[in-house]
Structure 1
């Protein structure tokens, strides 16, 4: 799993039928709280909103998280982060 921030939504009227009913969110991966790499489109499985910090999975784990093993999903939001505590 990785940490990201929801920076937008994606609306696709025409899409693969296996994505029907999926909420798509634009997710910015983070590293130490800073943007890390290009934003990606992730299927939202937990009801995340814009501005929230989330956990997301990629690859086969994302299809399992979305309970859509045969769908063309390669990223899924699997948790909303309330807080992060780092050991010092």
Structure 2
């Protein structure tokens, strides 16, 4: 899992039938201090929202085959899913 900030949304009228009804958000990966990852080609991505996140929120994302387990049929072609909204980050 990784931390990310929601920076936008995506509207797609034509998509895989398993994605119909899914909210798609643009996320940008961040480090534990809330800073955007620099010099990373994969720092911006599209993720399916499963928790009702909004633009500007810090979220937890899961990727790879684990991202599919959020939806019951596991047939959706998902590579990244938002699984949590972060309230606070504490570093000791």
Listed as ranges, the gaps of 5+ residues in structure 1 are: none
> Secondary structure of the equivalent of 1:35?
coil
1:45–1:76 CA contact under 8 A, matched in 2: yes
Q: RMSD in angstroms over aligned alpha carbons?
A: 1.1
How far apart are 1:68 and its partner, in Å?
A: 4.3
How far apart are 1:71 and its partner, in Å?
A: 1.0
Counterpart for residue 33 of structure 1? 34
Counterpart for residue 56 of structure 2? 51
Structure 1 segments of 4+ aligned residues over 3 angstroms from their partners? none
Count of matched residue positions in the alignment of Structure 1 and Structure 2 = 87
As a proportion of its length, which structure holds more strand? 1
2:80 paired with 1:75: yes
The separation in 2 between residues aligned to 1:3 and 1:66, in whole angstroms, is 21
TM-score by length of 2: 0.89
1:66–1:76 CA contact under 8 A, matched in 2: no
TM-score by length of 1: 0.92
Counterpart for residue 3 of structure 1? 3
The separation in 1 between residues aligned to 2:71 and 2:30, in whole angstroms, is 22
1:6–1:53 CA contact under 8 A, matched in 2: yes
How far apart are 1:24 and its partner, in Å?
A: 0.2
Listed as ranges, the gaps of 5+ residues in structure 2 are: none
